[in-house]
Amino acid sequence: MVPANDSISMGNPKAFLTVPRKEAGYRPINDRIYDFGEVEQTLNSSDRRQQASRCMDCGVPFCHWACPLGNKPPEWNDALYRGDWEMAYRLLNATNPFPEFTGRICPALCEKACILNLTEHEPTTNREDEVAIAEHAFKENYVRAQQTERNGHSVAVIGAGPAGLAAANELNHRGYSVTVYEANESAGGLLRYGIPNFKLNKSVIDRRIALLEEEGIRFVYGEHISTDALPEGFEAYVLATGTPDARDLKIPGRELKGIHLALEMLAQQNRVLAGMEFAKEDLVNARGKDVLVIGGGDTGSDCIGTAHRQGCRSVTQIEIMPRPVDGPEDPQNPWPNWPRTLKTTSSHEEGCVRRWNINTLEFLGEDGKLTGVRVQEIAWQPNPDGGRPLMVEKGEPEIIKADMVLLAMGFLKPQHPELPSNVFVAGDAASGASLVVRALASGIKVAEAVDAFLSR
């Protein structure tokens, strides 16, 4: 039982000794791979509060430092532990504008930096606590539109991904009249047209956008804005246009039918789920196919989960870099830093051959259609000149049979022309491909800079 009103100042200082970390876990594989519903389950509220009780007053909470938003898990976990869900939401929302997003898809940098991760490798469940607090807040209707007095200034935000939304939200709350221009037909950026529904249901984005609109933010869709023709009538601009260019693999055979950039599949699948129709010949669908995902990161993992749900025959994921160390500790990047250890996602658990140190040489095909990929096992050797490690071949090339390839090798960092002093860049457009939590933090920081610029 969780005491509802305890006098202890922060969490329960003994709970970490008696209450083990408990994750809600995923829906069973043989249930979840037949639909695109969210895979993660939820704990009941008593268990959730018990998990929150494990967050103690640890002196120097490294979670604050690790979270790019500067979220304060000890504060809201304490309120949650005490059963004050509304206070928990207020504390969480003080630093995080959209905890319903990060609570679902943040890799939880804070948990890796948790003191309980250092000692027991059983950190507090901040991310899950975060989404539980956010969902409770929406359910109980204390996430309400706030009306702010206008300050007479107007700002345009270009791009409605997490960075643009965070900047627009912050500026709106500071009294600016904000218009968001978005090239796509709906808001969300990669939240909507990248991250699969099984990680983030799109109704969660719709709910937030409705609130932002109610608070006075204007959204203009289907407008691709160029930096040399910014919309007129605004005193400042926030460019939050993300990383539009995916890294391609221009090797022999690239023109064959069946080779796609990851987002061609992921964005289309999310649009199909939103009710959009595509001609059969335009569908990027893995049904009945042997799929090869090139790129061992998170985008590749999302391709695997999507291919399973589309009914693929098999999935293999290859990566040119070596296999990361097995966790939980990474001697090269020790606590409280993010450990670069092997990550096995819910999509990997659903079935996938994973290989590392594999270079891709050539796409092979018949009658213009992909049939396989010639690959080469390699090794990385230290560079005697001290530069990047050297790639050396190991053994003979081999062929991986595939009739679909998904290229998930990251995105090019955008280059911007010299911009006027009233144009500010936020999110992935500024940093290169990163994380939602960093895009949110960047959007807020840029909004503060715009405010300072227009308040001179």
Ligand X SMILES: Cc1cc2nc3c(=O)[nH]c(=O)nc-3n(C[C@H](O)[C@H](O)[C@H](O)COP(=O)(O)OP(=O)(O)OC[C@H]3O[C@@H](n4cnc5c(N)ncnc54)[C@H](O)[C@@H]3O)c2cc1C
Torsion of the alpha carbons at 282, 284, 290 and 291, rounded to the nearest 10: 140
Residue number with CB closer to ligand X (164 or 365): 164
The reply to whether 350 sits near ligand SF4 by the rule CB under 6 A is: no
Residue number with CB closer to ligand SF4 (91 or 425): 91
Segment interacting with ligand X (CB under 6 A) among 122-130, 211-219, 343-351, 427-435: 427-435
The reply to whether 106 sits near ligand SF4 by the rule CB under 6 A is: yes
Which of ligand X, ligand SF4, none is residue 240 near (CB under 5 to 8 Å by kind)? ligand X
Torsion of the alpha carbons at 391, 397, 398 and 401, rounded to the nearest 10: 70
Rounded Cα gap, residues 10 and 2, in angstroms = 14
CA distances from 270 to 182, 199, 277 (A): 17, 11, 11
Rounded Cα gap, residues 373 and 403, in angstroms = 9
Q: What mask of x and - would describe binding to ligand X in positions 251 to 290, judged by CB under 6 A?
A: ---------------x------------------------
Closest CB 377 distance from ligand X, rounded Å: 27
The reply to whether 159 sits near ligand X by the rule CB under 6 A is: yes
Count of residues touching ligand X (by CB under 6 A): 39
Q: Where in 128-157 is the site for ligand SF4 (CB under 6 A)? A: 130
Task: Tell me which residue of 247, 173, 212, 229 sits closest to 432, measured CA to CA.
Answer: 247
Do strands 404-407 and 290-294 pair parallel, antiparallel, or not at all (unpaired)? parallel
**Cis upstream peptide for 397 (omega within 30°):** no
Phi-psi region of 307 (alpha: psi -120 to 50; beta: other; left: phi over 0): alpha
Which of ligand X, ligand SF4, none is residue 69 near (CB under 5 to 8 Å by kind)? ligand SF4
**Residue carrying structure tokens 């304060």:** 72
Phi-psi region of 345 (alpha: psi -120 to 50; beta: other; left: phi over 0): beta
**Residue carrying structure tokens 């391609």:** 248
Given candidates 182, 290, 319, 451, which one binds ligand X under the rule CB under 6 A?
182
Q: Give the E-state strand segments of 32-139 in sequence order.
A: none
Segment interacting with ligand X (CB under 6 A) among 125-133, 145-153, 297-305, 382-390: 297-305
The reply to whether 184 sits near ligand SF4 by the rule CB under 6 A is: no
The reply to whether 428 sits near ligand X by the rule CB under 6 A is: yes
Closest CB 191 distance from ligand X, rounded Å: 6
Q: Where in 6-35 is the site for ligand X (CB under 6 A)? A: none
Which residues here bind ligand X, judged by CB under 6 A?
105-106, 158-164, 181-184, 189-191, 194-195, 199, 223-225, 240-242, 244, 266, 298-299, 302, 427-429, 433-437, 439
